[in-house]
Amino acid sequence: MALLVFVTILWAFSFSLIGEFLAGRVDSDFAVLTRVLIAALVFLPFLRWRGVPAALRLGILGTGMLQFGITYLCLYRSFGYLTVPEVLLFTIFTPLYVTLVDDALARRFSPVALLAAAIATVGAGIIRYDGLSQDFITGFLLLQVANFTFAAGQVGYKHLMQRYPLEIPPFRTFGYFFLGALLVALPSFLVFGNMDRLPSTGLQWGILAWLGFAASGLGLFLWNRGACRVDAGTLAVMNNALVPAGLLVNLLIWNRDADLLRLAIGGAVIAFSLWVNARFHPRARLAAAS
């Protein structure tokens, strides 16, 4: 849980940095490719090539393609149609995808986890339901693809690690994750990239470097490790904790208008969803007791 909280704080800055300094200025495919390459360079020196089952390699490659490659390509494109608050609003459906994908992989139905995710969704909706731009349908659909692939990637990684409980340290195999993302990001840039919209300032390059190293490299690794240590209900709820955190950053640093009362009420609802899951979800109770 502590890892998920830490990464939530780390990622809270990413939405505003992308929306304020990169969206509409830097080609989205180039931005994603840069983040993938930087994150890959962090983990490739530690990558273990031998002694790793082929199915595990392919599985981690697949989760990287989903959770980083497809997710971020759709996320960056959505900023061309939506404001930062709208992007945050449309991510509120991710917990539902997390719960449903987890149940599908485990061939079960967990009503408590789904209830907790639904409550968290209501909480986030209270915070960010507002007027929508004319292009909201396109932006909404892009973000739903991003939400689903992000959910499928993190849940898939969690199940993969449970299936292959190797003694190999996780950081020795996580490089495959970014290689998988590269298999999506590189072709996308080669086909759709715009060379006339490369970063033009040191600030833009610096933001890309930070996002690649911290938000993508360190953040995705720690998030996926945290996902392996909690039940699906808690993981689903933590996906929505980014909404109030991102809004606070956007408000405090860029002085965007926000309804503080709705922020407080919505945050309380999300906190309540965590309590519901911890109190009534059987696997959550077992995890807390262990």
Per residue of the chain (290 residues), what is the pLDDT tens digit?
789 989 988 888 888 888 889 988 999 999 999 999 999 999 999 999 988 999 999 999 999 999 999 999 999 999 888 877 778 777 877 888 888 888 888 787 778 777 877 887 787 777 666 655 667 778 888 998 999 999 999 999 999 998 887 778 999 999 999 999 999 999 999 999 999 999 999 999 999 999 999 999 999 999 999 998 888 778 877 887 877 787 777 777 765 566 677 767 877 887 787 778 767 765 554 444 44
Length of the chain: 290
Contact 234, 89 (CB under 8 A): no
Q: Enumerate residues 6+ apart whose C-beta is below 8 A from 55.
A: 164
Question: What dihedral angle (degrees, nearest 10) is formed by the CA atoms of 181, 182, 184, 188?
Answer: 140
User: Alpha-carbon distance 124 to 207, whole Å?
Assistant: 27
Encoded tokens for 246: 């991102």
Q: What is the DSSP string of 233-282?
A: HHHHHHHHTHHHHHHHHHHHHH-----HHHHHHHHHHHHHHHHHHHHH-H
pLDDT at 133: 61
What pLDDT was estimated at residue 278?
Answer: 67
Range of the domain at 241: 2-289
Instruction: Give the distance, in angstroms, between the CA of residue 265 and the centroid of all CA atoms in the same chain.
Output: 24
Q: What is the pLDDT of residues 83-102, one digit of tens each?
A: 777 787 778 778 888 888 88
The domain tally of the chain equals: 1
Q: Which residue bears the tokens 């930062």?
A: 84
